Every structure is written in C-alpha cells, then in structure tokens.
Chain A
Amino acid sequence: MLVNNRALLARLKAYDGPPARLMEVCGTHTMAIARYGIQQALPERVELVSGPGCPVCVCEPGVVSVAIKLAGRPGVILATFGDMLSVPAGAGSLSQTRAGGADVRVVYSPAQAVTIAEQTPERPVVFLAVGFETTAPAIASAVKMAKEKRLTNLSFLTSLRTIPPALRALSNDPEIKLSGFLLPGHVSVIIGVKPYQLALSDSGLPAVVAGFTAGDILQAIDRLLTLIHSRSSAVENAYPRAVDFMGNAKAQQLLAEVFVPADISWRGLGVIPRSGLVFTDAYKEFDALGKHSVLVEDELPPTGCRCGDVLAGRIRPTECALFSTACTPQSPVGPCMVSSEGTCSAYYKYGGGQVEK
C-alpha cells in the first residue's frame, strides 16, 4: 500500500486533538525519527519521547565488565556485536581491552560465533549476546546449533530483554505521562501484536506497530493520534508488510525452547519483572556465567549520569547536566551517548530533532 505523504503530512500538521506524548521503544526508531526530522512534521502539541529501546543502552554495566574480564583470560576469544565495543563499564570498555591485546572479535551474526568456536576447538569462545526479541531468536538458533554440534568450548554471556514488560512498567508509571506508544516493527515481526495488548490492558494506552521508512513512521503516528483523539485503547498494526498478528511462530518456538523469562535489571530502570530471558535447564551448559564461574556484579552509575531517567522518558537528554559537556560521543559517560542508537547520541548529533530557523 503506497503512502501519500503530502496528504498525510497535512493531516498531521492539522491534528487538533488533545496534546499527546508518544513514546517509541526502539533504537532504530530513535535514529529514523532523527534522520527524517519527524518531530518537525508534527504540531507542537505532539511530542515524541524516546524510551528504553536500545539494548546496548539498557545492558547492565556489570555484564560488560564480565565480558572484559573473560576477554582478559588466557586463550579466550570474546565475540560481540560491534555496538557493544565502546560501552563504558567499571572495568573499561571492550575496545580498550582489544587495544590492550585481548582477542575481541566483532561479528554481525551469532552464527559466526559458532563458526569461530568450530574453527578453534582448543580455545574458549564467549559470545556477548545482547538484544531484544528481534535478535534473541537468532541467538537461540545459534545456541541450538552449538548443542547439535557438541561445541563444548562455546558459551553465551546473555543480556536479553523483552519489550512488553517494559511497556507495562512505563505505561503504569505516573511520573511518565504518556499518551501512547509507537511499537517496534521488527520486535513485532517476532512476537506479533497480541503481547502488547496484554501488557497495556491495565493502562489502556493505545499503541501502533510501526515500520521504519519515513512513510511508515508518519502513518503509524497518524493512526496513533487518531486512536488518542477517540480515546481508544486499541493496539494496531501499521506494518502489515512484515508483521503478522501472531508473529513468527517458528522463532517463538525456538525462543521457548532455549530461553525462559526471568526478572532482569535494566540499566537505569531497575528490575522489571519477567522482562529478561535466561537459559532453560536444557541449555544451561551454554551459559557463560556458569561455565566460567563468574558473577555479574552491580555497578553504580557514574556520578551525574542520568541515563536511567533518559531511558524512562522522564527527562530529555538536554536536562542531564553532563549532556554535551562531560558526556559527548567522543567521550561518553553513559551508554545513551555511546550507542549509535542511544537517545543522547541521537540528540547530540541531530540537535534534539529541532532546528532553530
């Protein structure tokens, strides 16, 4: 279905419903919104807020420190997605660790970690497995592959989170006054639309699944504003090209086979019940924590770091005293600035989506 941008833009500008605060919970949406200047296509009464949609940003620093520690052990190969390299944690960063001589390898697919482990059977391989539901099935598939190939030298240091519980927590938080949610299109490819209906049933906030082109985002916002205006609590799918109501059953089955929900802490947000994924008993042997006898320790955020408040949508990046002073992309204090999809990084690069004319 083609989108008529001109008419859509005019309709958005003409929105005269109640003031609306819309939260998106996907780092790729954060970037697309900044890159297309979407905020400017909206009237002043509609505000876009970034939520905790960046898996790199919400990964607990203690996990990064464990990755650094393991990378420093003799013979270990630490495989990671590229966006985790510069994340600052108590023990430093993986890129610093690599510069110091550790064997840290960037991969773009969890299947590569399996290949590395196969090619170097005498060396322990640890894959730092960070992501939301878009990535978790791929990781689950790699874990299953490892089991089938009997790779005893491969383990996974997981930091996996699920979106609907976070939405429930945010929608029920009285401090964060939201009118509705833009839902992450590719997470939804996996989980479908139904989990959001359950998560939002208490708060009654409407939500719309959105794709990632400018047209997709505008259409989804238009739909969401229509729902808000009519005081609807509906959850709708504006990305039917890729998202089915029931999601990807095969991916969901794989997830259920390898992982099980558990309470997990989100950097800056605290523990959100049943919002994490940990290994089922059948696959526990692949948990890096058990295999290498390490524990994730709590780490206090650096002084003055307000990533937590930013991630929860309580403050804008500019309201953090460190923003663009002590904390910049070149010298980030917290993960919101270092991740290419982080809220503060997007704000810094794109001027908060607003330009003075």
Chain B
Amino acid sequence: MCLAVPAKVITIDGLDAQVNLQGAELSARLDLVEGVRVGDWILLHAGYAIQVLSEEEARETLELWEELEGAGE
C-alpha cells in the first residue's frame, strides 16, 4: 500500500488543496508538507501530500520523458 502518485496543485485553501493529475481532479490535505504553492507538484498518498516534488521529478515519476529508452525485444 505504498501507492503514491504525483499531482499538480491547482488551488489552496488553508490546509486543503485541489490537485490535478492528467485532468483528474481531487482534493489533498497539506498537513504533512511545508511551503506548498499553487503550481507545485506533490506526491499524494491516501488523500495527503507526503512530499513536494519539482516538475522534473514529477514528470520522471510519471514517465513522461519519452527519452526513456524502451528496451527492444
């Protein structure tokens, strides 16, 4: 149950945030992280942000780098 996914922070209201992953929007609590701003990426687990990520870190986790060489057969 280590499932945690990067998502981008869209709005912040106190310790409640709305985050977005590829168009899917959901809420996240910010009690476990510090200094989050709109536009940051966070690592989301069980409805809570557990880490702040740079955009590059988030994209690498989401494997949005097409430069990742897929192996051949």
Q: Which residues from chain A sit less than 8 Å from chain B, CB to CB?
A: 1-6, 9, 26-29, 53-56, 81, 83, 108-112, 131-132, 134-135, 137-138, 141, 144-145, 184-187, 189-190, 211-213, 215, 241-242, 248, 250-251, 254, 341
| Measured CA separation A5–B72 after assembly (Å) | 10
B68 touches A110 (CB 8 A): no
A138 touches B61 (CB 8 A): no
B24 within 8 A of A: no
A134 touches B63 (CB 8 A): no
Contacts of B33 in A (CB 8 A): 248, 250
**Which 3 A-B pairs give the minimum distances between C-beta atoms?**
A109-B47, A28-B2, A186-B2
| Measured CA separation A110–B45 after assembly (Å) | 11
| Measured CA separation A135–B31 after assembly (Å) | 13
Give the residues from 31 to 46 in chain B that come closer than 8 angstroms, CB to CB, to chain A: 31-34, 43, 45-46
Contact residue among B45, B60, B63, B70 (Cβ-Cβ distance under 8 Å from A135): B45
A137 touches B32 (CB 8 A): yes
A111 vs chain B, min Cβ distance (A): 5
Contacts of B63 in A (CB 8 A): 213, 215
Count of B interface residues, CB-CB < 8 Å = 28
How many A-B contacts are there with CB distance less than 8 Å? 114
With contact pairs A4-B69, A251-B32 given, residues A138 and B48 touching in the complex (Cβ less than 8 Å): yes
Give the residues from 15 to 73 in chain B that come closer than 8 angstroms, CB to CB, to chain A: 29, 31-34, 43, 45-48, 50-51, 53, 57, 60-61, 63, 65, 67-72
B53 touches A137 (CB 8 A): no
A5 touches B1 (CB 8 A): no
Contacts of A111 in B (CB 8 A): 29, 47-48
| Measured CA separation A55–B3 after assembly (Å) | 12
Contact residue among B31, B57, B71 (Cβ-Cβ distance under 8 Å from A6): B71
A141 touches B32 (CB 8 A): yes
| Measured CA separation A81–B47 after assembly (Å) | 12
B10 within 8 A of A: no
B43 touches A189 (CB 8 A): yes
Contact residue among B2, B43, B65, B71 (Cβ-Cβ distance under 8 Å from A184): B2
B4 within 8 A of A: yes
A189 touches B4 (CB 8 A): yes
Contact residue among A112, A132, A248 (Cβ-Cβ distance under 8 Å from B32): A248
B69 touches A27 (CB 8 A): no
A270 vs chain B, min Cβ distance (A): 22
| Measured CA separation A4–B71 after assembly (Å) | 9
Contact residue among B3, B34, B47, B68 (Cβ-Cβ distance under 8 Å from A112): B47
| Measured CA separation A9–B70 after assembly (Å) | 11
With contact pairs A134-B2, A186-B50 given, residues A242 and B61 touching in the complex (Cβ less than 8 Å): yes
A27 touches B2 (CB 8 A): yes
A134 touches B53 (CB 8 A): no
| Measured CA separation A215–B63 after assembly (Å) | 9
B60 touches A241 (CB 8 A): yes
| Measured CA separation A157–B1 after assembly (Å) | 18
Q: What residue in chain A is nearest B67 (Cβ atoms)?
A: A2
With contact pairs A185-B2, A242-B57, A250-B32 given, residues A5 and B69 touching in the complex (Cβ less than 8 Å): yes
Contact residue among B31, B43, B60, B68 (Cβ-Cβ distance under 8 Å from A254): B31
Contacts of A242 in B (CB 8 A): 43, 51, 53, 57, 61
| Measured CA separation A212–B6 after assembly (Å) | 12
B1 touches A83 (CB 8 A): yes
Known: A135-B45, A138-B29, A186-B43. 6 other contacts (CB 8 A): A2-B68, A28-B1, A141-B31, A189-B4, A248-B51, A254-B31
